[in-house]
Structure 1
Amino acid sequence: MSKSLLVISRQAPWSGPSAREALDIVLAGGAFDLPIGLLFMDDGVFQLAPHQNAKAVQQKDLSANLQALELFGVEEVFACRHSLAERGLAPPASAQPLDSDAISKLIDRYDQVITL
């Protein structure tokens, strides 16, 4: 049986390669039918903000990767409710907002956790 994996993405999409690497890991895991989840926390929630202009900061646009999650069988996508509120972002339709207690329970559900 495959071990389940939770990837926690904590970096803004324009702050370096970590955000892209987190999405790449999740998409690769989904392609191989690995039980996988993705949690956006801290500045990682900025990846969920609509209408980003990646070219303005000379970065790759990650919105296509986010839209591909469902195509790769990744249905477990979450966002930290506190992180969203701190940054003035509305909860996105693409990720289920969770409070701190729910995040702790979520982490406990997975066999392995990677934080980027």
Structure 2
Amino acid sequence: MSDDIKKIMFTVRNAPHGTIYVYEGLEVKLIMAAYDADISVVFMDDGVFALRAGQDTKELGIKGFEATYGVMVDYEIEKVFVDRKSMEDRGMTEDDLLIIGEDEDTEEPIRPKVVDSEEIARMMAEQHNILPY
């Protein structure tokens, strides 16, 4: 990877519904993916709920955006991570995570990678920019 390519990490810490932050952050990620940047996303704290498969938003009176997360890999956003402790503290397992794409070669579903806080800290130290959403 060229030194000219900026490494940008988005951190998602807010629950997916109740504010516009998570949805707007998703739009920003997809827009940024169109530019020559190395994009990564880390879901932590209540942000892990954004990746819970099978969300039903009808009773909230809003359109869900789970399907949009399902195309992240198509936008070349393949570095998608979930904080293990945040996920476990909220009663979630890896099986609860939605699919963010499909492997082109094997057609296997791709889910976010679950990592520990030490790994997140290491990745953060390598970024040019970290943007919270």
Q: Write the letter of the residue equivalent to 2:49.
A: F
| Structure 2 portions without partners, runs of 5+ | 98-109
Look up the match of 1:104: 121
Aligned length, in residue pairs: 116
Is the CA contact 1:80–1:98 (under 8 Å) kept in the aligned structure 2? yes
Separation in structure 2 between the aligned mates of residue 33 and residue 70 of structure 1, nearest angstrom: 15
Q: Write the letter of the residue equivalent to 2:30.
A: L
Give SS of 2:70's match.
helix
Find out whether 1:86 has 2:61 as its counterpart: no
Higher relative contact order (CA 8 A, sep 6+): 1
Look up the match of 1:56: 59
* Deviation readout 1:13-71 (Å, 9 max, x if unpaired): 11211111221111111122321001101110001111101122122311121011011
Separation in structure 2 between the aligned mates of residue 51 and residue 38 of structure 1, nearest angstrom: 21
Separation in structure 1 between the aligned mates of residue 42 and residue 64 of structure 2, nearest angstrom: 19
Give SS of 2:122's match.
helix
Following TM superposition, the consecutive aligned residue runs of length 4 or more in structure 1 with deviations greater than 2 angstroms are none
Give SS of 1:35's match.
strand
Is the CA contact 1:29–1:35 (under 8 Å) kept in the aligned structure 2? no
Is the CA contact 1:5–1:110 (under 8 Å) kept in the aligned structure 2? yes
Look up the match of 1:43: 46
The structure with more radius of gyration:
2
- What is the TM-score with the length of structure 2 in the denominator? 0.82
Q: Write the letter of the residue equivalent to 2:33.
A: G
Separation in structure 2 between the aligned mates of residue 21 and residue 39 of structure 1, nearest angstrom: 16
Give SS of 1:106's match.
helix
Aligned residue runs from structure 1 range 62-77, under 5 A: 62-77=65-80
Look up the match of 2:112: 95
State percent identity of aligned pairs: 28
Separation in structure 1 between the aligned mates of residue 129 and residue 63 of structure 2, nearest angstrom: 28
- What is the TM-score with the length of structure 1 in the denominator? 0.93
